[in-house]
Structure 1
Amino acid sequence: MAPHTIRWGIMATGGIANTFVRDLLIDPKTRDASDVSHQVVAVASSSSQDRATKFIADTGIPAGCAVYGDYESLVADKNVDVIYVATPHSHHYQNVMLALQAKKNVLCEKAFTVNAAQTKILCETAKKNNCFLMEAVWTRYFPLSIQVRRLIQSGEIGEVLRVVADTSFANEVEKEFDTANRMVNPDLAGGALLDLGIYSLTWVFQTLYHTLPRDQRKAPTVAAQMTPYHLTGADESTTILLSFPTTTPSNDTHPQHSQGIAMTNIRVASDPDEKGSAGPAIRIQGVKGEIQVFGGPAYRPTTYRIVPKQGHGAVRTVEYEFPGKGHGMYWEADEVARCLRDGKLESEGMPWEESIVIMEVMDEVRRQGGLMYPQKIESTEFPLPL
């Protein structure tokens, strides 16, 4: 049977879009994905058509790809099956709404939006217009991540009661980032939380929340501390304690309670020497042992280790490769293709409900830290020029 081919339109031409497209162009057969394939049929830059043309040349997209200097033309292209939104977080709501109003399917980069109210409206609009919509939390679709979740669900380390996850980088912030840089610019919803902290939250949620049946998943209570960057007010360091009224996988231990600690920082690194000497960035702790996740950093792990409780077996280490010398974004693209093939509006791996809960957590973290973005990018009004 011929593979199901999905035709992609790329919205924005920055670094993340470059990485995503390069992965799309790798033959799916290199990762044993013979059932789906991908074509990039249109690219749009909001700044100029020339920039989109250069992007096509730089990434090696085959001839015949349409080129646009605005997003309205991209969403109107009848040859496009799904649009990959790779703009800054601050613009996601407006850009995704534009696509959904044109009844286009969407894969939107994380963080999904700036706040939960925006995410809810996007999901409601997707349902109303019968469009597929997914937050591009690519780490969830790695074979390593899937296997770790299965190990938890099988009881490999017993009832899981605590997860610690860190996604941090050591930057000389004042030297490396001017105040307009997206990492520290509130006008672009900048700061550690939405850009990096989402990965720490991803590991906490995919292990303590997503491993339970959907009817048993319950939102956590949140306590957070945030350090603002003195030049812009965006967060440079955020630590979140999440308390879930559940445990996994059986959810019947006493007390029924588990904790996640999600950390992010742009001045200190979770992997200082970039050789793994500091140990795992993620520790998933159960009553019979723990699973440690290494490499990457946390968003692109390469190895996990199972450390059983003393007397319960030997330590085991499993390493994963990235087929075709890819970055790993092709696995989420394959998920999109299969969902579209099967007529699904959302992915079981990253369902709308879970994206909303995670955005609600980040809303509460920002509330406790006193971090507000400009009203325009927090707004649910559409259309609204930014």
Structure 2
Amino acid sequence: MTTEKPTIRWGIVATGLISSWFVQDLVLSRSDAKANHIVQAVGSSSLEKGKAFVATHIPGTAPTVYGTYEQVYADPDVDVVYIGTPHAFHKENCLDAIRHGKNILCEKAFTLNVAEAREVFEAAEKKGVFVMEAMWTRFFPLVKTLQKLLHTDKVIGDVHRVFCDFGLKIDIASLPAESRYKDLSLGAGSLLDIGIYSLTWGLVGLGQAEKPKVVASQHLIHGVDVASSMVISFSGGQQGILTSSTNARTARNFCRIEGTKGIVVVEGDAASVPGFFTVYLDGSEEGKKYDFEKPGRGFYWEADAVALDINVGRKQNEDTMPWVETIRVLEILDEVRRQGGARFPQEE
């Protein structure tokens, strides 16, 4: 019996923490899988690191291990490249993969700024390859269900305000200078690393397609933003109050969405990994909880979307993470940094 599910062969670029989470999810056995995922190749800064990565995180698989990223891009058996390097390398990695005609799933933040993103998308369009930003949270069934309840079913009426915070307690002062949390040349700072999730919840919760007005503030230490706050507002009066910090960990109820008929509270380990949400209608003390099964971490939902898009020849994910949304997010993040003062060496 043949399966209708597409099979896609992944090339993994970089062997850090985020890549380990991604490949572990790829090889999970799932009843709801929309595609068959094969880790075809792994590229690291050395063969030793690459082999250790496979042995530790995906034992029982036999991908080709390379000591360079370039070899992954050149591998004819790789259908799509997953890029898990620090933000500052995304543009270069994407452009290198595009030159080899490779489809791409690139981690968030997609690039350091919107100018870099436009350069990547222009190159992808000319080459005719698929490219998507790996904003995995948007692909969670929880998020999809919430969007339908908010914006189609209008379960809490018209949404007018969203609060979201993503905070981690990181002792940045104690980290080595080359840490991605400390080195500005790597895109260090709370905004691109975790503030992008707070912004995502604001955009998802408010459901507005336009580019918002932004008022922002950042607290910088040695140029690195350890806290960022942004208020986004739309022409209809909707507002998002969205924050990030490396000074304190956020409570589990990280997001609150207010409407004319009630509120929704989203909870979970962090804004990147929502676990459930509860709808509280005005006049009712009891909330209705929406819980969702999530084996592993949840990276496979974005991977399934990539496989389905590539299988039918699409060059971007039009439903959930189109290029125009990546551009909008980076335009907002650029404006937050313009007002808050954070700059990267590459921009000077």
TM-score range, shorter chain: over 0.9
Instruction: Select the residue among 9, 12, 27 that pairs with 1:10.
Output: 12
- TM value normalised by structure 2: 0.95
The Cα shift of 1:28 comes to 3.0
Please give the secondary structure, in 2, of the residue aligned with 1:195: helix
What residue in structure 2 maps to residue 269 of structure 1? 249
What secondary structure sits across from 1:301 in the alignment? Answer: strand
Q: Name the CA distance, whole Å, in 2 between partners of 1:308 and 1:195.
A: 33
SS in 1 for 2:265: strand
Question: Once the 2 structures are TM-superposed, how far is the Cα of residue 173 of structure 1 from its aligned partner?
Answer: 3.3
Equivalent residue in structure 2 for 1:304, among 271, 277, 282: 277
The corresponding residue for 2:307 is 337
Give the match for residue 252 of structure 1: none
CA distance in 1 between partners of 2:297 and 2:8 (Å): 20
Aligned to 2:229: 239
1:28 touches 1:37 (CA, 8 Å); kept in 2? no
Aligned-residue offset at 1:120: 1.0
1:83 corresponding residue in structure 2: 81
Aligned length: 344
Q: Deviations over 1:269-299 (max 9, x none)?
A: 212xxxx4xxx21011110111110012111
> How do 1:173-252 and structure 2 match up within 5 A?
173-175=172-174, 177-209=175-207, 217-229=209-221, 232-245=222-235
Shift of residue 320, structure 1, vs aligned partner: 1.9
Provide structure 1 residue ranges, at least 5 long, that are not aligned to the other structure: 246-255, 380-386
| Alpha-carbon distance in 1 for matches of 2:21, 2:67 | 20
In 2, Cα distance between the equivalents of 1:61 and 1:337?
23
Shift of 1:63: 4.5
Match of 1:327 in 2: 297
Aligned residue for 2:269, secondary structure, equals: coil
Identity %: 39
Q: CA separation in 1, counterparts of 2:309 and 2:241?
A: 32
Give the aligned partner of residue 259 of structure 1: 239
Match of 1:364 in 2: 335
Question: Is the Cα contact below 8 Å between 2:172 and 2:181 reproduced in 1?
Answer: no
Match of 1:251 in 2: none
Give, in whole Å, the separation in 1 of the partners of 2:122 and 2:204.
23
One-letter code aligned to 1:265: S
Contact 2:223 2:343 in 1 (8 A): no
Does the aligned pair in 2 maintain the 1:40–1:61 contact within 8 Å?
no
Tell me the CA shift for residue 60 of structure 1: 2.3
Q: Distance in 2 between matches of 1:42 and 1:345?
A: 22
Q: Secondary structure at the match of 1:240?
A: strand
Corresponding letter in the other structure for 1:344: R
Deviation at 1:309, TM superposition (A): 1.1
Unmatched runs of 5 consecutive residues or more in structure 2? none
Task: Name the residue aligned to 2:37.
Answer: 38
CA deviations on 1:171-190 (whole Å, 9 max, x unpaired) are: 33323x23322112101110
Q: Structure 2: which amino acid aligns with 1:300?
A: V
Per mean C-alpha deviation after superposition, the further-off stretch among 18-27 and 51-60 is 51-60
Matched, 1:283 2:256: yes
| Aligned match of 1:382 | none
1:62-141 to 2 correspondences below 5 Å = 62-141=60-139
Q: What does the per-residue CA deviation read over 1:79-98, in whole Å, with 9 as the maximum and x for residues that have no partner?
A: 00000000000100000111
TM-score by structure 1 length? 0.86
Distance 1:173 1:73, change over 3 A: closer
Q: How far off its partner does 1:145 sit?
A: 0.7
The 2-side partners of 1:63 and 1:15 are apart by: 18
Question: Contact 2:139/2:301 (CA < 8 Å) preserved in 1?
Answer: yes
Question: C-alpha displacement at 1:142, in angstroms?
Answer: 0.7
